[in-house]
């Protein structure tokens, strides 16, 4: 029995039942693939269900506001996925007459759709022979064939895509693609896979050369930078506060937060007192403030560690754009902020 047949046999026996496997609607397939980019099934599943409930068709998604889509996406991370999701829904509805692109080449033109996602939608929704290469596929192929080329090098990306394209089952590309990814997720796991129950024990190069734990090879790690965030939680007598949309390029674009002052180090109350708040409130002799968290809250992103302090500031008057504190949770915000809102007793 060859690689394909063993793999698909394993899949028909062990696969999980997942909602996006019960449909061939390209809108649902696309939605699931965007949600699952760099995201485990367990984490993405509730978001998928929420999205198809709130936006049953691509027209519903196209007609929604970006803010409401980001709110539903809140907590999932990589928020450009949600912004591109909205952009592409509008594009398909308004420019493509609501007809979902149905080939790899046309899917690849969509914003937020790269080689992997175009291949996944083309094969799963339209049965096109297009090989997917995700983190699971890299791992399965590098181990099974004993390939030591770094998976994130230019050569490795080409090499694994090429190999995957020679392996894909020409008669059932949808099943084959999902099978190899599921196999990587459930059996050929990153850490401590149970090779004693693997159907490829007698043919896996990595297993026979005791290289399972060193494959796949991956180049370098991202260096982490440390930042110091001071969030200004204003409170006025009308139970209002300031909450702003992040418009600049970096993290959390288009999400909302309390006014932020970044500092070179963690500030003491004395140092904080010397800051200038004239951007937010009228100059006052005495500013009545307190510190929510004595020790920094350290919020860890992939390549930034955010040492954070929340400063509670009572003021007599706030600018026009202040919003009611009880409406804070209607806005999409980073987990760091939403957890503060949930925990602080306003």
Structural contact between residues 230 and 57, judged by C-beta atoms closer than 8 angstroms: no
Q: What share of the chain is helix, strand, coil (3-state, %, to 5)?
A: 45, 10, 45
Question: Is residue 245 near DNA by the rule CB under 7 A?
Answer: no
Structural contact between residues 60 and 31, judged by C-beta atoms closer than 8 angstroms: no
Question: Is residue 301 near DNA by the rule CB under 7 A?
Answer: yes
Among residues 31, 69, 92, 118, the one that binds DNA under rule CB under 7 A: 118
Q: Which is nearer to DNA, 60 or 339 (CB)?
A: 339
Sign of CA dihedral 337, 339, 342, 346: negative
Q: Cα separation of 116 and 39, whole Å?
A: 14
Among residues 3, 27, 62, 112, the one that binds DNA under rule CB under 7 A: 112
Taking the complex as a whole, the smallest distance from the CB of residue 283 to DNA amounts, in Å, to 33
Q: Which is nearer to DNA, 150 or 272 (CB)?
A: 150
Identify the CA nearest to 90 among candidates 125, 54, 66, 114: 66
Question: Is residue 192 near DNA by the rule CB under 7 A?
Answer: yes
With CB under 7 A as the contact rule, which of the stretches 159-167, 182-190, 236-244, 276-284 interacts with DNA? 182-190
Q: Which is nearer to DNA, 306 or 325 (CB)?
A: 306
Structural contact between residues 323 and 243, judged by C-beta atoms closer than 8 angstroms: yes
Among residues 23, 25, 37, 54, the one that binds DNA under rule CB under 7 A: 37
Q: Which is nearer to DNA, 90 or 287 (CB)?
A: 90
Structural contact between residues 258 and 337, judged by C-beta atoms closer than 8 angstroms: yes
For residue 222, whether the previous peptide bond is cis, meaning omega lies within 30 degrees of 0, is: no
Q: Is 33 an active-site residue?
A: yes
Determine how many CB atoms are found less than 10 A away from the CB of residue 158: 11
Q: 22, 33, 148, 262: which is the annotated catalytic residue?
A: 33
Contacts with DNA by CB under 7 A lie at 18, 20-21, 32-33, 36-43, 75-80, 84, 111-118, 120, 134-136, 138-139, 153-154, 178, 181-182, 184-185, 190-192, 218-223, 225, 249-253, 299, 301-304, 334-336
Active-site positions?
33
């Amino acid at each position: 029995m060859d690689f394909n047949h063993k793999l698909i046999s394993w899949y028909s026996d062990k696969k999980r039942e997942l909602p996006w496997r019960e449909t061939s609607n390209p809108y649902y397939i696309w939605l699931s693939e965007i949600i699952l980019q760099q995201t485990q099934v367990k984490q993405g599943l509730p978001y998928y269900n929420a999205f198809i409930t709130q936006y049953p068709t691509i027209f519903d998604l196209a007609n929604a506001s970006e803010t409401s889509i980001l709110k539903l996406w809140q907590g999932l991370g990589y928020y450009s996925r949600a912004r591109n999701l909205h952009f592409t829904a509008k594009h398909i509805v308004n420019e493509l007459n609501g007809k979902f692109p149905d080939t790899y080449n046309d899917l690849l033109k969509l914003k937020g759709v790269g080689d992997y996602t175009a291949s996944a939608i083309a094969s799963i929704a339209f049965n096109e022979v297009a090989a997917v290469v995700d983190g699971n596929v890299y791992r399965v192929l590098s181990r099974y064939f004993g390939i030591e080329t770094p998976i994130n090098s230019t050569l490795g990306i080409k090499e694994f895509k090429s190999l995957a394209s020679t392996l894909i089952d020409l008669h059932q590309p949808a099943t084959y693609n999902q099978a190899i990814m599921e196999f990587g997720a459930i059996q050929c796991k990153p850490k401590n896979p149970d090779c004693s129950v693997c159907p490829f024990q007698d043919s896996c190069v990595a297993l026979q050369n005791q290289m399972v734990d060193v494959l796949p090879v991956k180049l370098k790690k991202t260096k982490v930078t440390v930042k110091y965030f001071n969030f200004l939680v204003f409170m006025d007598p009308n139970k209002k506060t300031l909450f702003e949309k992040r418009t600049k390029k970096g993290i959390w674009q288009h999400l909302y937060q309390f006014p932020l002052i970044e500092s070179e180090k963690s500030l003491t109350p004395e140092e904080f007192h010397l800051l200038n708040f004239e951007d937010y409130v009228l100059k006052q002799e005495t500013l009545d403030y307190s510190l929510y968290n004595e020790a920094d809250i350290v919020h860890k992103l992939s390549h930034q560690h955010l040492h954070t302090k929340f400063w509670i500031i009572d003021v007599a008057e706030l600018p026009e754009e202040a919003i009611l504190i009880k409406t804070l949770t209607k806005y999409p915000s980073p987990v760091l902020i939403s957890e503060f809102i949930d925990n602080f007793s306003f």
